[in-house]
Structure 1
Amino acid sequence: MSFLAAIVKAIGRFNGFLGQILAWLSLGIVLVCFTVVVQRYLFSTSLIWMQDLYVWLNGAMFMGIAGFALLRDDHVRVDIFYRPATIQRKAMIDLFGVVVFLLPFCYVVILYSWTYVMRSWSLGEGSANFGGMPGLYILKSFIFVFAGVVALQGLAMAGRSILVLSGREELLPADLRYRLPGEGE
């Protein structure tokens, strides 16, 4: 069980690190968008590749931090049932949700996007806009990053649930434990 706790901690650290790094892209998005607006309205000019850049940075950031959002419980959930639940019940709900919904969803995302992304790589696809950015295939590859980080965090959630259900929650650091209603809100 301590090996499982180590895996849960490692995945949490990885997604936490990735989330903290990719969150800085939001500053880049704001700066690039501000530059585009200044160019357009003060200098009556526009660089199409810069317009592509802030949209692409936005897409990369949101796909890359999806696992971080899941780690922090920042995703949408029907709290009317989950919030008042006991820790054991939360663990059962999470384990069921990961196995029945989340991991199959990640598999389907990878399965159905594989051809789409690989075709983009084979074409060396770039922006559809004249003068736009090259390398759209890199952005499309973030679909795999999304599915990977969400699946990894799902495995960590399942591991956390198994530890709780087996009575070994003390192996988890405090920030990865379930909270009772009213705690940490």
Structure 2
Amino acid sequence: MFDTIYQWLVPLVLLAVAVLAVLFAAFTGFAEGLIRVVDAINEGIGRAVSWLTLGTVVVCFVVVALRYGFSTGWVWMQDIYVWFHAAVFMLGAGYTLKAGGHVRVDLIYARLSDRRRAWVDIFGSFVLMTPYLVVMGASSLPFTLSSWSILEHSLQPDGLPGFFIIKSVLVLYVLLLAIQALALLARSVLVLRGLTSYAPTAMTH
């Protein structure tokens, strides 16, 4: 029971400390630097992993061509495009949040003032995203550590080794999404303080 409590307590405490640090930064002038650093991290990672989309298409095409054109193929090659696909979505989540690309009702959000958008983003960060990140963090870390402890192999015969590496992407997903959510929180607080230049752009697609 203690292990279970500890498992859930750690991400809650870390998230609470992080939120307090962001609020402190927003009211003491350090938030601008925090936002720039977090945006740069997720921008770089997002642009880098976007190339894996092309890799996914190419490898998938080769797998299909080999299977139906030559009646051959390799399981490890199928693992590659599945892993690429997973990495794009997991590692690109923070960048997507930065760009405002996650699903929401943009028809309403785009019509709001900067201050009202800031309140919506604060509400979304605390009420919707925080519980999700806590659950994902508490669930994925033991899951990933267990995989590393046995250096888990692909579940498929003749699949890729190092299955623990792709499972680690779950932890990175939580981390990258969490720091971008904190940057969004910092932006929202700055907007409420009157610094509207930090307001995120509303997408109208």
TM over 0.5: yes
Q: Is the 8 A contact 2:100 2:201 kept in 1?
A: no
Query: In structure 2, which of residues 177, 191, 199 is the aligned counterpart of residue 164 of structure 1?
Result: 191
Q: Is the 8 A contact 1:86 1:180 kept in 2?
A: no
- In structure 2, the partner of 1:11 is 38
Unaligned runs of 5+ in 2: 1-27
The letter for the 2-side match of 1:152 is: I
Q: If the length of structure 1 is used for normalisation, what is the TM-score? A: 0.89
Q: Find out whether 1:65 has 2:87 as its counterpart.
A: no
Within 2, Cα distance between the matches of 1:3 and 1:112?
32
Report sequence identity in percent.
38
Aligned ranges 1:119-158 → 2 under 5 Å: 119-158=146-185
Q: If the length of structure 2 is used for normalisation, what is the TM-score? A: 0.80
The letter for the 1-side match of 2:144 is: V
For the structure 1 residues 62 and 181, does the alpha-carbon distance in structure 2 shift closer, same or farther, using more than 3 Å as the test? closer
- What root-mean-square deviation, in Å, do the aligned CA atoms of Structure 1 and Structure 2 show? 1.8
Q: Determine helix, strand or coil for the equivalent of 1:113.
A: helix
TM superposition shift of 1:83:
2.4
- In structure 1, the partner of 2:68 is 41
Q: Is the 8 A contact 2:109 2:202 kept in 1?
A: no
Within 2, Cα distance between the matches of 1:56 and 1:160?
33
Q: Determine helix, strand or coil for the equivalent of 2:173.
A: helix
Q: Is the 8 A contact 1:84 1:181 kept in 2?
A: no
TM superposition shift of 1:167:
0.7
Within 1, Cα distance between the matches of 2:153 and 2:76?
10
For the structure 1 residues 150 and 181, does the alpha-carbon distance in structure 2 shift closer, same or farther, using more than 3 Å as the test? closer
TM superposition shift of 1:96:
1.9
Query: In structure 2, which of residues 130, 144, 150 is the aligned counterpart of residue 103 of structure 1?
Result: 130
Within 2, Cα distance between the matches of 1:162 and 1:2?
12
For the structure 1 residues 178 and 64, does the alpha-carbon distance in structure 2 shift closer, same or farther, using more than 3 Å as the test? closer
Within 1, Cα distance between the matches of 2:111 and 2:160?
49
TM superposition shift of 1:78:
2.5
Unaligned runs of 5+ in 1: none
Q: Deviations over 1:29-75 (max 9, x none)?
A: 11111111121122211101001110011101110000011011110
TM superposition shift of 1:77:
0.8
- In structure 1, the partner of 2:200 is 178
TM superposition shift of 1:179:
4.2
Aligned ranges 1:79-94 → 2 under 5 Å: 79-94=106-121
Superposed structure 1 runs of 4+ greater than 3 Å apart: 177-182
The number of residues matched between the two structures is 178
Q: Deviations over 1:111-154 (max 9, x none)?
A: 01222111111121111111111111111111111111110110
